[in-house]
Amino acid sequence: MISTKSKLDIEKLREGGKILATILGELKKAVAPGVKTSDLDTLAYRLIIKAGAKPAFLHYRPEGAKSDYPASLCVSINEEIVHGLPGKRVLKVGDLVTLDLGLEYKGLFTDMAITVGVGKIKVEDKKLLAVTAQALAVGIATAGPGKTTGDIGSAIEKFVKKQGFTIIKGLAGHGVGYAPHEEPYVPNYGHRGGGEKLIPGLVLALEPMVSTGSSAIKLLADDWTYITRDKSPNAHFEKTIVITETGVEILT
């Protein structure tokens, strides 16, 4: 069922979203060659607890998953797209690392992700990061009351194609707020006017995932990490937004 959030809920989401964005900014600063991915997860957990919030992903089981997610932060490197597990792996120069984090604050959930280059990265990879961040901005600019999820997806995909990259299929944005994942499903492709109508109070996590190669995904044997089937590098940016009477407000 699609739910809209009350004014009070949105105030709480705004507070939680601000905390989440600040923490993700801190994690970005901690990204450097030689850093262990589990250390980023530990830092994420500590910062969330210090802020009086709860990690949304720790012990969460997304629909279709075989177990509970064992960490607070998703760390996905290079060909990995989403849900990479933090562990003993160490970041190295040239890696593209996606940090995806969710938190619960005063009972409400927000979700956010960024992709960061480790040390000096290739010029093409810089372009990939810029285009993916812009794709998210295009999606947000397209959203508003009376628009549809298909409007968002179609605008995002058109933009990404024009820049010479590919939208990853099989993973998508989603409703959020009372749970880490809610309806509606918000694909990063689609038809104008298609999908669900956007109404004031609807809270969405928009999250374009952009590949330098194939759009096809593959789930690794760990049952969590999604990679591009052709192992091409990719990027992912995500923000939580709310549809307002007049447009959108970014919550994270």
Residues binding ligand MF3 (CB under 6 A): 57, 60, 62, 69, 74, 82-83, 100, 102, 111, 180, 205
Report the nearest approach of ligand MF3 to the CB of residue 158 (Å).
Answer: 23
Spell out the residues 6+ positions from residue 113 whose beta carbon is closer than 8 angstroms to its own: 24, 74, 82, 98, 99, 100, 101, 207, 236, 237, 238
Q: Does an H or E element contain 243, and which?
A: strand 239-243
In DSSP terms, 80 is beta-bridged to 227
Binding mask 196-225 for Co ion (x = CB under 5 A): ---------x--------------------
Q: Which is nearer to Co ion, 8 or 219 (CB)?
A: 219
Q: Any known ligand binding at 111?
A: yes
β pairing state of 239-243 and 203-206:
antiparallel
* DSSP code for 178: S
The answer to whether the CB of 135 falls within 8 A of the CB of 209 is no
- Residue 182 interacts with Co ion (CB under 5 A)? no
Cα 3 to its chain centre, rounded Å, is 20
Select the binding partner of residue 69 from Co ion, ligand MF3, none (C-beta < 5 to 8 A, by kind). Answer: ligand MF3
Find the angle CA(33)-CA(37)-CA(38) to the nearest 5 degrees. Answer: 140
Select the binding partner of residue 52 from Co ion, ligand MF3, none (C-beta < 5 to 8 A, by kind). Answer: none
Spell out the residues 6+ positions from residue 207 whose beta carbon is closer than 8 angstroms to its own: 111, 113, 136, 171, 172, 173, 188, 236, 237, 238, 239
Select the binding partner of residue 165 from ligand MF3, Co ion, none (C-beta < 5 to 8 A, by kind). Answer: none
Select the binding partner of residue 138 from Co ion, ligand MF3, none (C-beta < 5 to 8 A, by kind). Answer: none
Q: Any known ligand binding at 79?
A: no
Report the nearest approach of ligand MF3 to the CB of residue 102 (Å).
Answer: 6
Report the nearest approach of ligand MF3 to the CB of residue 170 (Å).
Answer: 12
Peptide bond into 55 cis (omega under 30): no
Cα 68 to its chain centre, rounded Å, is 19
Report the nearest approach of Co ion to the CB of residue 56 (Å).
Answer: 10
Q: Any known ligand binding at 100?
A: yes
- Out of 80, 111, 151, 157, point to the residue binding Co ion (CB under 5 A): 111
**Binding-site residues from annotation for a divalent metal cation:** 100, 111, 174, 207, 238
Residues in contact with Co ion by the rule CB under 5 A:
111, 205
